[in-house]
């Protein structure tokens, strides 16, 4: 299987334009003063280094800001941890107080129930005897 290419006059014209532009650029570069060209390249290199130094300064500032934020977060985390430990201690004390109060309330209610039971027994006996004496 053979592949055939058809070259038209427009293709040749476009090819010639590309070659002429490339050749014109090469000629312009060859005619340019080598010293001027070297100075231009050195200038570009200096600009690149200046930009790199500027970017390094920005990165350094960003890094310092992130470090400061990190230190603030660590300090806040330590403060929160201390508060948590303090609150755990306080919570345990409160729990002990509530348990103590609950036990005391339970004891008081038991005493009250025994008192009512005893009073009920003590009052019902004389009433029962009185009823037996009064009713024929």
Tens-place pLDDT, residues 80-109:
888 777 777 787 888 788 777 888 888 899
Rounded average pLDDT per 10-residue block, the chain, 136 residues: 70 84 79 79 92 93 93 90 78 79 86 91 87 84
What is the pLDDT at residue 111?
Answer: 93
CA distance 105 to 98: 10
- State how far the alpha carbon of 81 is from the alpha carbons of 43, 73, 74, in Å: 56, 12, 10
CA distance 107 to 30: 110
CA distance 122 to 118: 6
- CA–chain centroid gap for 6, Å, is 65
Name the average pLDDT for the chain: 85
CA distance 34 to 131: 139
What is the pLDDT at residue 2?
Answer: 62
pTM, rounded to two decimals: 0.38
What is the pLDDT at residue 48?
Answer: 93
CA distance 106 to 87: 28
């Amino acid at each position: 299987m053979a592949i055939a290419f058809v070259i038209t006059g427009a293709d040749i014209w476009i090819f010639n334009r590309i070659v002429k532009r490339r050749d014109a650029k090469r000629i312009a570069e060859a005619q340019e003063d080598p010293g001027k060209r070297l100075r231009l390249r050195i200038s570009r290199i200096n600009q690149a280094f200046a930009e790199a130094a500027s970017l390094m300064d920005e990165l350094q500032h960003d890094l310092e800001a992130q470090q400061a934020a990190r230190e603030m977060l660590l300090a806040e985390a330590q403060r929160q941890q201390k508060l948590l430990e303090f609150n755990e201690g306080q919570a345990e004390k409160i729990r002990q107080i509530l348990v103590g109060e609950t036990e005391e309330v339970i004891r008081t209610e038991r005493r009250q129930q025994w008192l009512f039971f005893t009073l009920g027994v003590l009052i019902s006996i004389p009433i029962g005897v009185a009823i037996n004496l009064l009713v024929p």
